[in-house]
Amino acid sequence: MKDQNERHKYLEVKDKFKMRELDEQDLEQFNALLQYAFQVTSYDLFQTGWRQDEIKSAKSPILKEAYVLGWFYQDKLASMIVVYSMKVNIHDNIMNMGGITGVATYPEYTGRGLIHSLMKRALNYMRKNEMLISFLCPYSIPFYRKMGWEIVSDKLTFTVKDTQLPKTVPVDGMVERVSLDSEDYHNVHSYFTLQRHGALIRDDLSWEEYWRWDNEDIIAAVYYNKEHKPLGYVVYYVANEIFHIKEMVYLNIEANYGLWNYISAHFSMITQVRGNNFSGEPMAYLFEDSEITETISPYIMARIVDVKKFLSEYPFQVQPEDFKLHFLVHDAMIPENEGDYMISWHKGKTVCEKVEDNQSINVVELTVNTLTAMMMGYKRPSYLYEHEKILTEYYMLTWLERLIPVEKPYFSDYF
């Protein structure tokens, strides 16, 4: 049997700390740090239908399919980070995305820069594997902002009283409850994500993460039109006279009406409906009684990992062949991203070149954080200019508003 040090390939060493990738033999330490850092107790696992041995086996595929990197102190896992290989819809262009999760350190090892060095390694890994953008669910927005991530998506939480539920609108189809692995349900989600900016293209690992902390009472219901074509779904559970919506998706207005008809059919069982809305737009306007309660909170952060390749693949709204745009980007975490990127268009193709000592006009100076928020459509160029997030000549705002598609990201996943 190989010696422990021989088996492991150390990527970095500092004092008594050694950095390396985790494998299946590290599963117990991996789970222990996750549960400690994210305060997941045995009681929490029981409440959501898990047994201790089940959560271990459920997390095992992560060590096979994801990039998991950690610092070890005398062979004890001290700090770690996980990178999922994912795909996301960026204005109808499917891009490779690195999903960051499992960022954790035991308290006795904090303040040593362990996470910072893991992040740098993870970013290098993503660049090498052509993951052009990275998403994460932040536990500290200021912490991740320092590393180049920025808010790009909100979660709107709403509460509707039973007396405020929409009146029934006649539709030709009907809603059917289905299994969580129903092909129709998954097909609706797949079709929706292919036409919705910001949405995650779910693979098997993404679906596992989507359900990981839900209780056993969760239900999926699909709306079918009169030809029995699935056109929408609602994922929910009912508890303590409350209809809880995890997610609701519809491909046309008929499906929207049909799903709300189904929710309203629970009138005698519930006193209110609570749910999450990831569209970035409040729902109150669509209700006859608009005095519903809605709260908004930042949800997903993102950062461009490879500026040159991202801009080359970005689907600009217009392609003016007689115009050149310069993004002067600052990125303290990835030195390779720092610089002046000249963008032009030729025969329907975007050309992005990194130029040196450029003194030209049409320059937009900004950080990689702001570039990400702007290109993702979370904040418009005029808003960012007014709040001094971008430095440019005023006339450039008209060009930026024309070039960047107007659509806020939809992101409903958690990992």
**pLDDT confidence tier of residue 215, bands split at 50, 70 and 90:** confident
| Helix boundaries (H) for 234-273 | 253-264
Q: Are residues 315 and 258 in the same domain?
A: no
What gap in Å lies between CA 302 and CA 147, rounded to an integer? Answer: 11
Predicted confidence (pLDDT) at residue 361 exceeds the cutoff of 90: no
pLDDT above 70: residue 155: yes
pTM for this entry: 0.90
Give the domain-ending residue among 299, 326, 352: 299
pLDDT (tens digit, 9 = 90+) per residue, 299-346? 999 999 999 999 999 999 999 988 999 999 999 999 999 999 999 999
Domain for residue 149, yes or no? no
Strands of 305-348 (E only): list them: 325-330, 339-346
Q: What percent of the chain has pLDDT over 90?
A: 80
| Closest C-alpha to 72, from 124, 33, 129 | 33
Please name the residues in contact with 387: beta carbons below 8 A apart, sequence gap of 6 or more. Answer: none
Q: Model confidence at 358, in pLDDT bands (50, 70, 90)?
A: low
pLDDT tops 90 at residue 209: no
Residue 411 falls within a domain, yes or no?
Answer: no
Residue 357 clears pLDDT 80, i.e. is over it: no
pLDDT of 46 higher than 50: no
Average pLDDT of the residues of the chain: 91
Report CA 405 to chain centroid distance, whole Å.
19
268 and 343 both lie in a single domain: no
Amino acid 191 reads Y
In a domain, 414, yes or no: no
| pLDDT band per the 50, 70, 90 thresholds, residue 112 | very high
> Is the pLDDT confidence value at 64 over 50?
yes
398 lies in a domain?
A: yes
Query: Is 415 among the domain residues?
Result: no
Q: Which of 299, 333, 357 is where one domain is finished?
A: 299
Place of tokens 């996750």: 34
Whether residues 323 and 338 share a domain: the answer is yes
Lowest mean pLDDT, pick from 5-19, 25-39, 52-66: 52-66
Regarding whether 174 and 276 lie in a shared domain, the answer is yes
Percent of residues, the chain, with pLDDT higher than 70: 92
CB neighbour list of residue 295: distance below 8 Å, 6 or more residues apart: 156, 157, 158
Whether 75 has a pLDDT exceeding 50, the answer reads: yes
For residue 47, the model assigns a pLDDT of: 45
The CATH code of the domain that includes 85 is 3.40.630.30
| 8 A C-beta contact, residue 273 and residue 240 | no
pLDDT tens readout for residues 13-43: 888 899 999 998 999 999 899 888 876 544 4
Expressed as residue numbers, the domain containing 44 is 4-136
pLDDT at 35: 84
Give yes or no for residue 239 having a pLDDT over 90. Answer: yes
**In which residue are the tokens 């998954």 written?**
186
Please work out, in degrees rounded to the nearest 5, the angle formed at the alpha carbon of residue 311 by the alpha carbons of 310 and 316: 120
Q: How many domains is the chain built from?
A: 3
**pLDDT(240) > 60:** yes
**pLDDT of the residue at 388:** 97
**Cα separation, 22 vs 118, whole angstroms:** 13
pLDDT of 38: 74
The answer on 268 and 240 residing in a single domain is yes
DSSP class per residue in 168-184: P---S-EEEEE-TT-HH
Residue 61 pLDDT: 64
Last residue of a domain, one of 259, 283, 299: 299
Handedness of CA 66, 69, 72, 78 (dihedral sign): negative
Band of residue 59 on the pLDDT scale cut at 50, 70, 90: low
Residues 332 and 254 in one domain: no
Is 90 in the same domain as 185? no
SS3 241: coil
Average pLDDT over residues 146-172: 96
For residue 62, pLDDT over 70 is answered with: yes
Given a cut of 60, whether residue 351 has pLDDT beyond it is yes
* In the predicted structure, residue 44 carries a pLDDT above the cut 60: no
Evaluate if residue 95 carries a pLDDT over 90: yes
Q: Which class for 172: exposed (0-12), middle (13-18), buried (19 or more C-beta within 10 A)?
A: exposed
The CATH number of whichever domain residue 329 belongs to comes to 3.30.1050.10
Do 19 and 94 sit in the same domain of this protein?
A: yes
Query: What residues have CB less than 8 Å from 57, skipping those under 6 apart?
Result: none
Find all residues with CB under 8 Å of 168, minimum gap 6, and list them: 261, 264
Are 178 and 264 found together in one domain? yes
* Residue 203 in domain: yes
- Over 90: is that where the pLDDT of 11 sits? no
Range in 112-121, 204-213, 378-387 with the lowest mean pLDDT = 204-213
